Every structure is written in C-alpha cells, then in structure tokens.
Amino acid sequence: MYTFSSKLKTFSFVLMILGAIGIGIGFMAAPKTIEDVEKLLADSHHGHEAAHVEKVAPHAVDTHVVADTVKVAEAHAIDSTHVAAHTTSVDSTAHAEDTTAVVAVAEAPAHSDNHDAHAKADAHSHDDHKEHLEHVLHQLQNKPWAALYVACIFFMLISVGVLAFYAIQYAAQAGWSPILFRVMEGITAYLLPGSIIFFVLLVAAGMHYNHLFVWMDPEVVNPESVKFDKLIFLKKGWLSVGRFLATAAIILVVWNFVRFKFRQNSLAQDSAEDNAPYKKNFKLAAFFLVFFIVSESIMSWDWIMSVDPHWYSTLFGWYVFASFFVSGITVIAMITLYLKSKGYLEHVNTSHIHDLAKFMFGISIFWTYLWFSQFMLIWYSNIPEEVTYFVTRIEHYKLPFFGMLALNFIFPLLILINTDFKRLTWIVVMAGIVILFGHYVDFFNMIMPATVGDQWFIGIPEIGALMFFLGLFIFVVFTALTKAPLVPKGNPFIEESKHFHY
Amino acid sequence: MSNKVIHAIYNDDDVLMDAVKQTRAAHHHIEEIYTPFPVHGLDKAMGLAPTRLAICAFIYGLVGLSIYTTLMNFVMINDWPQDIGGKPSFSYIDNMPAFVPIMFEGTVFFAAHLMVITFYMRSKLWPFKKAENPDVRTTDDHFLMEVGVHCNEEELVSFFTSTGAVEVKVVEKH
C-alpha cells in the first residue's frame, strides 16, 4: 500500500492555497468600470499604441484603433518571416477599410477584431472610443474567469484522457499495462472533483457571471437588438444555455459513472474467484469507448469551440482529444516514475516506461498531424470566417501559438525519437514537463483569443489557477493511490504484465 | 588447421534461445544461426552489436527532407513562381505550409527506401542471390546453429546434444 508522504501533501496544500490567493487577486484586480480601463490602458500598453497614433495620424486621436490596426497589418505584410500572417493580414486591412459590415458579421461580437467595425467614421469616434473601452473592460473582466476555465478544463481532461487510455487497455486486453492500472485509476479519481468544479464554472457562465461564451448573451439572438448576430441566431437551436448545460451534465455524469464502475470492478477482481469483474470491465470499456468518441466531440464543440461561435472546424474534436490524450499518458508516465523513485511499483521495469514514452512520442506526432491538417486547410483556403481564427492567434498570440509547436512537436520529436532515451527516467520526466506545459499553452490558445483577445498575459490569475488545480490534482490523485494496493493482483494479465520485457 | 563446424539443429525457438545462452556461457564461438523466422531477442542472446540501421534511417530522412525542400524551393519559388490560390509566390517560408506534406512524404520515402536497401546490402541480399543456409529445413521449421570447432570434437557434439539439439553434425566448411 502506498502512503501519501506528508511532504507531498504539504506541497499540494501550499499549491492550492497560493493558487487560491492568485485566483482571488485576479478577480480583485479585474477593472470594474470604464474609467478603470482608461487608466489601465493609459498606464500600460496604451503607451506604444499612442506612439503609433502619433506617427500615423497625429490629429485623429480618437480613431487610433483603426490607425493601429492598419499599421499592424502593414507591418505583417512587409515582414516575410510570418508564416501565414502574410496574405491574411492583407485581407484584414481590406476589411478595416471598406468591408466593415462584413467583418461585423463574420467575427464574434466579443472579438478584438471588432475594433475594425468601430472605426467606421470619424463622426462617431467618441462613441467608438467609449465602445472600445467597454470592450476592453469586458475582456479584462473575462480574464480571471478564462484563466480559471483553462486550468480547470485542462486538468479535468487529463483525467478523462487517462480514463480513455485505461478503457483502451481493457478493450484491447493489453497484457503489458495491468501493472499500471492502479496508477491510472488514481489519476481518473480526479475526474469527479474536476468535473464538479468545471460544471459549476459552466453554470456560472450560463447565469451570466462571466462572458466567456458570447452566444449566451440573449441580446445576441434578439433581432431587435443592436448586438444582434445573424450567424449565432441561425445556430441558436444548438447554442442555447439549457441544451448546453443538459448535455454537459449528461456527459459528465456518464463519464463519472463509468469511472466509478471501472474502479469498483477492478477492486472486486482482486478478491474474486473467477474473472467476472474483469469481463464486466471489458464490456464496460467497449461501451465507454463508443460513447466517449461521440461525447468527446460534442464536449469539444460545446466547451471549447463555442467560445468562437462563428468559427468551426470538423476535426476539432480529434485535435482536442489528441491534446489531452498525450497529456494524460504523460501524467501516467510521470506518476509511475515518481512512485518508482519512492520504491513502489517494483514490477514496473524500463520496458513499461519505454512503452509509455512511445505513446508520448506517437501521440505528440499525432497531435501535430491534426493541428497541421486543421491549420493548413484553413490557411490555404483563406475563407474569411474560417481564417480569422488563425489571424487573431498569429497577430496577438505569436509567442504561445508558435511556441506551442516547438514544445509539443519539435522537442518531443527530437528527444524521444531515440530508443534508449525512452528508457531514461530524467529524459522522460523532462519531456513530460515540456509536453504538459505545451498542451496547457495549447488549451490557452483555444480559449483565450475569443475571451480576452489581445489583453492576454500569463500572470498571477493564470499561474494561480494552474497552481490551484495542480495542487488539487496532486492531492486527489495521491489520496486515491493510498486507497488500494498498487498491484491489481486479481487481473488475469497481471503475470504477463509483471514479466513484460522486450 | 581444419575448417570444421558443428551444425546443431533445434526444432523450437525457446530451446534454441536456451542453447544459445549455454553455448555462450561455455565460450564456444557461434558463427551463425539460421532460423525460419526472426526470433525475438536472439541478437542480444548472441551478443551481436546493436544495429545502427536506425541512425542510417534518421540521416536518410534528413537527406530526403533537404532534397524535397530544395526541390520545392527551386520549382515553385525560384525557377517559375506560381500563384496558386493567391498565395505569395516569392518567399519559401510564406508558402511553407503548402509544402509540408511534400517535405513529409519525401522524408518518409527516403528514410524507408534507403533503409531497406541498406538492410539488404548489409545482409548481403540481392536478386538472384544463392541461398546460404546449409540445411533446407531452416526455411521450414528447424533452427540451425553453426559453431566453429576449435577443441575436442566429441566433447562438443555431446555438449550440443545435451542442450536439446535434435541433430548434431560435424561438417567441413569450404
């Protein structure tokens, strides 16, 4: 039996407390009024914007937004090192100049690109300025929520990814992995607290405590309103708060129920006389995987893609899946290595670690394949309502957007391609840390551009939220590991797994 | 000096693996083993040096990647810039996403084919090559271990019989 070392427990509590403080600071520091925003902008990054304005249009202070946008777009057009920004920013210049109405339809109401639409004519420039400030206010008010949301969904999906991996092991009757089942069950224990907190966040969004999901605003689908958005209106059969929360509840309840039954049968198998509990888990795994592949797609549309309600990508579900699946496998490898370094799991040998590292390598490549397939088709076809997704990311999120590719693809590719490296603890741990950070950034890139726009920053609220959920994750996972022996001795494949070697 | 070798024939790969370990423990020199199918772990048991084929494959991949990058740069950018779908045609890096599938396929093509050719050359296999295996049964269901005879012949024969060989022959090798 594993005992939760007091050092690690203290560490997890420290993380949770510091994280909670960070989250609190994030909410307290969020501006309350337009005046706050004005002061903030004047104090900080407004400085460089003002510099642009002076150069480009010194007299038109109030139209600085459009001047700035055009300037940025021109800069991109000249700078040939930006991979996809080139043509697309030429497009956005065109939008800013003559097709403001189209842009207003084609882009989400809360988008930073909406600046373009504001600057229609000088006559309204004072209103525009106010509107812009209000817009930034909403983004900054969203920021602590979005930070919380990203960290929350990331850790919850890690446990979902591990649950899927675990179900695959059962469905495939894999012989190498049963020795790791208790580690996987420990990680999936986080699913329950993780999904409860996550569901609370979704309900909070549904009750308009935050504006992470612009389509939840009833004004957006009200034809009488100035905020009316035809595209969202046409999608309102799917994008409605009631349907959204009901689907989320069903998906989370089924996932948690499946996890509960898996664990129950797995524990029952330890003292069973025949393989009945094992067979139940086999059937459950088959059911779960079918349910999972559908529910996972739906959840990725609802919880992630719908923050950009105008944009859609048909392989988005797979792409999200690859991201949290590789993160889940990485966490399995890292926790296994941690337990092994503490003297537990004596039957786990380098062949098991090698297999996990192969999965880390393979799924990293798979993630890249999907990421690139999505990117290249949208980049190539260059359809305005699709390509805005990448334009915002390349214009405002250059570092996380391209940095993530280095972390999630180039680094694992180069370091894990060598057979011998996959057996070395420090290599696997180092690659694991990079992969996990990279996929956090991946989720950051999925949520932030639509919710906080160009006001993003990885600061106290983001790191606080990450620390809080990491602390909770460590606490829940390692508590669950103490509840049962680390070797599932009743599993029919356990002997094969113990002697797994190649 | 005689050029005699022992041919010890086995009919099970597990027995063969144990025999190989015993032979190595007794410090007899295994010259070659003929098997009808690849036996997992045999190379390690025989003490063969690890293969460097993977390193070759990596290098071939890099060669393929650079050849196809150069090719696309020459064809699509330098020699005859083509405007496809309004994409900029005067800069490789701006067009790079469109070339990634080609660069990828080139990498795989070079790595795979050159690796196979290297493997054939290294194993001295080519078309119309005459089979080297001394006993036709090694293409069916028997395993043959060839060991050089450097000491007492009878002792060796009894040693191999004791390792589970179904047949032990002393052969003059040319």
Closest CB to B88 among A86, A376, A502: A86
What share of chain A has pLDDT > 70, as a percent?
83
Mutate which of A76, A80, A90 to disrupt the B interface (most B C-beta within 10 Å)?
A80
More confident residue, A390 or A122: A390
Closest CB to B98 among A81, A380, A417: A380
pLDDT at A99 over 50: no
Distance of residue B100 Cα from the nearest chain A Cα, in angstroms: 9
> Residue A83: what pLDDT?
41
Distance of residue A469 Cα from the nearest chain B Cα, in angstroms: 36
* 3-state SS record for A236-275: CCCCCHHHHHHHHHHHHHHHHHHHHHHHHHHHHHHHCCCC
> Residue A54: what pLDDT?
39
Residue of A nearest to B58 (CA): A417
pLDDT at B104 over 90: yes
More confident residue, A390 or A74: A390
**In terms of domains, do A68 and A191 share one?**
no
Instruction: Pick the most confident of A245-249, A383-387, A388-392.
Output: A245-249
Return the CATH number of the domain spanning residue range B4-36+141-172: 3.30.70.120
User: What ipTM was estimated for this complex?
Assistant: 0.79
Q: Would you tell me how many other CB atoms lie within 10 Å of the CB of residue A335?
A: 22
Q: Of A132, A162, A186, at which residue does a domain stop?
A: A132
Q: How far apart are CA A23 and CA A19, in angstroms?
A: 6
How large is the average pLDDT for residues A296-315?
Answer: 93
Q: Is residue A490 part of a domain?
A: no
pLDDT tens per residue across span B131-143: 888 889 999 999 9
**In terms of domains, do A280 and A411 share one?**
yes
Q: Mention every residue, 6+ apart, whose C-beta is less than 8 A from residue B17.
A: B39, B41, B42, B45
> Residue A23: what pLDDT?
93
Which of A8, A156, A16 lies closest to A471 in space, CA to CA?
A16
Cβ contact, residue pair A372, B93, below 8 Å = no
> Residue A44: what pLDDT?
62
Residue of A nearest to B39 (CA): A502
> Residue A265: what pLDDT?
95
Task: List CB contacts (< 8 A) between B100 and chain A.
Answer: 372, 376
User: B7 forms bridges with which residues in the sheet?
Assistant: B146, B169
Residue of B nearest to A369 (CA): B101
**In terms of domains, do A112 and A147 share one?**
no
Band (A125; pLDDT cuts 50, 70, 90): low
| Binding-site residues on chain B for chain A (CB distance < 8 A) | 40-41, 54, 58, 85-88, 91, 93-94, 96-98, 100-101
Q: Of A117, A132, A147, at which residue does a domain stop?
A: A132
Closest CB to A87 among B54, B86, B100: B86
**In terms of domains, do A21 and A103 share one?**
no
| Structure tokens, A376 | 């290249």
Q: How far apart are CA A441 and CA B125, in angstroms?
A: 50
Q: Which of A38-42, B3-7, B129-133, B152-156 has the lowest mean pLDDT?
A: A38-42
Task: List CB contacts (< 8 A) between B41 and chain A.
Answer: 502
pLDDT at B40 over 50: yes
**In terms of domains, do A14 and A103 share one?**
no
pLDDT at A115 over 70: no
Band (A37; pLDDT cuts 50, 70, 90): confident
DSSP string, A392-425: HHHHH-HHHHHHHHIIIIIHHHHHHSSTGGGG-H
pLDDT at A75 over 80: no
How large is the average pLDDT for residues A43-64?
Answer: 43
Q: Tell me A313's DSSP state.
A: -
Q: Is residue A104 part of a domain?
A: yes
Q: How many CB pairs under 8 A join A and B?
A: 36
Residue type, A76: H
**In terms of domains, do A287 and A304 share one?**
yes
Which of A117, A141, A138 lies closest to A128 in space, CA to CA?
A117
More confident residue, A112 or A410: A410
Residue type, B4: K
pLDDT at A96 over 50: no
The CA angle A212-A125-A70, to the nearest 5 degrees, is 75
Task: List CB contacts (< 8 A) between B62 and chain A.
Answer: none
Domain tally for chain A? Answer: 2
**In terms of domains, do A147 and A213 share one?**
yes
Cβ contact, residue pair A376, B98, below 8 Å = yes
**In terms of domains, do A157 and A281 share one?**
yes
What share of chain A has pLDDT > 90, as a percent?
63
Q: Is residue A428 part of a domain?
A: yes
| Structure tokens, B161 | 């019989």
pLDDT at B67 over 50: yes
| Structure tokens, A287 | 């059911």
Which of A22, A26, A83 lies closest to A456 in space, CA to CA?
A26
Q: Is residue A1 part of a domain?
A: no
Q: Mention every residue, 6+ apart, whose C-beta is less than 8 A from residue A193.
A: A472, A476
Band (B82; pLDDT cuts 50, 70, 90): confident
> Residue A236: what pLDDT?
86
Range of the domain at A452: 6-30+133-484
Q: Are A128 and A119 in contact (CB under 8 A)?
A: yes
Q: Is residue A496 part of a domain?
A: no
Distance of residue A94 Cα from the nearest chain B Cα, in angstroms: 15
Q: What are phi and psi of B145, to 5 degrees?
A: -110, 130
Q: How far apart are CA A90 and CA A114, in angstroms?
A: 16
**In terms of domains, do A12 and A52 share one?**
no
The ranges assigned to domains in chain B are 4-36+141-172, 53-122
How large is the average pLDDT for residues A316-328?
Answer: 96
> Does the global pTM surpass 0.90?
no
pLDDT at A77 over 70: no
Distance of residue A87 Cα from the nearest chain B Cα, in angstroms: 7
pLDDT tens per residue across span A200-258: 999 999 998 888 998 998 888 888 888 888 888 998 889 999 999 999 999 999 999 99
Q: Is residue A495 part of a domain?
A: no
Residue of B nearest to A378 (CA): B97
Q: What are phi and psi of B31, to 5 degrees?
A: -85, -45
Mean pLDDT value across chain A: 84
**In terms of domains, do A301 and A362 share one?**
yes
Could you tell me the CA-to-CA distances from A192 to A111, A146, A230 in Å, in that order? 33, 21, 38
Distance of residue A164 Cα from the nearest chain B Cα, in angstroms: 30
**In terms of domains, do A48 and A25 share one?**
no
| Structure tokens, A48 | 């460089």
**In terms of domains, do A68 and A150 share one?**
no
For the CA atoms of B159, B162, B168, B172, the dihedral, rounded to the nearest 10 degrees, stands at -10
Q: Is residue A185 part of a domain?
A: yes
How large is the average pLDDT for residues A292-314?
Answer: 93
Instruction: Pick the most confident of A128-132, A425-429, A453-457.
Output: A425-429
What share of chain B has pLDDT > 90, as a percent?
43
Q: Tell me A220's DSSP state.
A: G
Q: Are B146 and B169 in contact (CB under 8 A)?
A: no
Q: Of A132, A160, A175, at which residue does a domain stop?
A: A132
Q: Are A386 and A378 in contact (CB under 8 A)?
A: yes
Compute and round to an integer the Cα radius of gyration of chain B.
26
Q: Are A62 and A125 in contact (CB under 8 A)?
A: yes
| Structure tokens, A110 | 């809360």
How large is the average pLDDT for residues A413-434?
Answer: 93
Q: Are A183 and A263 in contact (CB under 8 A)?
A: no
pLDDT at B122 over 70: yes
Q: Are A160 and A255 in contact (CB under 8 A)?
A: yes
Cβ contact, residue pair B87, A375, below 8 Å = no
Q: Would you tell me how many other CB atoms lie within 10 Å of the CB of residue A196?
A: 13
How large is the average pLDDT for residues A22-40?
Answer: 84
Whether the CB of A382 is below 8 Å from some CB of chain B: the reply is yes
3-class secondary structure, A51: helix
Q: Mention every residue, 6+ apart, whose C-beta is less than 8 A from residue A366.
A: A322, A326
Q: Is residue A340 part of a domain?
A: yes
Band (A453; pLDDT cuts 50, 70, 90): confident
pLDDT tens per residue across span A334-378: 999 999 999 999 999 999 999 999 999 999 999 999 999 999 999
3-class secondary structure, A490: coil
pLDDT at A86 over 50: no
Whether the CB of A81 is below 8 Å from some CB of chain B: the reply is yes
* 3-state SS record for chain B: CCCEEEEEEECCHHHHHHHHHHHHHCCCCEEEEECCCCCCCHHHHHCCCCCCHHHHHHHHHHHHHHHHHHHHHHHHHHHCCCCCCCCCCCCHHHHHHHHHHHHHHHHHHHHHHHHHHHHHHHCCCCCCCCCCCCCHHHHCCCEEEEEECCCCHHHHHHHHHHCCCCEEEEEECC
| Structure tokens, B112 | 């795979």
Mutate which of A83, A365, A371, A502 to disrupt the B interface (most B C-beta within 10 Å)?
A83
Distance of residue A296 Cα from the nearest chain B Cα, in angstroms: 28
Q: How far apart are CA A18 and CA A21, in angstroms?
A: 5
Which of A368, A351, A448 lies closest to A402 in space, CA to CA?
A368
- Give the sheet arrangement for strand B30-34, strand by strand: B30-34, B143-148, B4-10, B167-172
User: B168 forms bridges with which residues in the sheet?
Assistant: B8
